[in-house]
Homo-oligomer: A and B are copies of this chain.
Amino acid sequence: MRPVDPQQFRFRLDLASGVPVYRQLIDQMLIAISSDVLRSGDQLPTVREVAVELSINLNTVVRAYKELEIRGVLKTQQGRGTFITEGTTVKPDEVLRQRRLLQMVSELVARAGGEGFSVSEIRRTLQECFPEEEQKRN
């Protein structure tokens, strides 16, 4: 249950990216876990610490933590803190996994682009033909 060493793990934001903050946090945690920077039982920085350090709202951090709790990656305990679930493995390797996905998506974009399709057309097709139930929300 040791707290995480801030030297080892630290959130960073790219505000210009357009990627929602809470999702940046999620991604960084998953990557850190898969690359063993964060390990089972580790305590994550408290929601307030993160909020202050990144100058964002507490609830944004909560949202990120909560979503990973739903996925079973984290376990939060009121009054104590948030911890990496024991025995969590975040797939074989989340980094490689994401890279693989990026690879496949890139191929599609390239192939489709070669045939005159725009990215927004791809996005539209995805939305229209593969609607996914709305994200669970808390």
Contacts from A to B (Cβ < 8 Å): 17-19, 23, 91, 97-98, 100-102, 104-106, 108-109, 111-112, 115-132, 135
Contact = CB atoms under 8 A, between A and B. Distances in A.
Counted per complex, copies of this chain come to 2
Contact of A132 (B104, B119, B126, B135): B119
Given A102-B129, A112-B104, A128-B19, A135 B123 contact: no
A105 B108 contact: yes
B101 A122 contact: yes
B126 A122 contact: yes
Q: Is the contact region of chain A dominated by helix, strand, or loop, or is it mixed?
A: helix
A122 B112 CA distance: 15
8 contacts: A18-B131, A19-B127, A101-B125, A106-B129, A119-B130, A120-B132, A122-B126, A126-B126
Contact of A105 (B18, B91, B125): B125
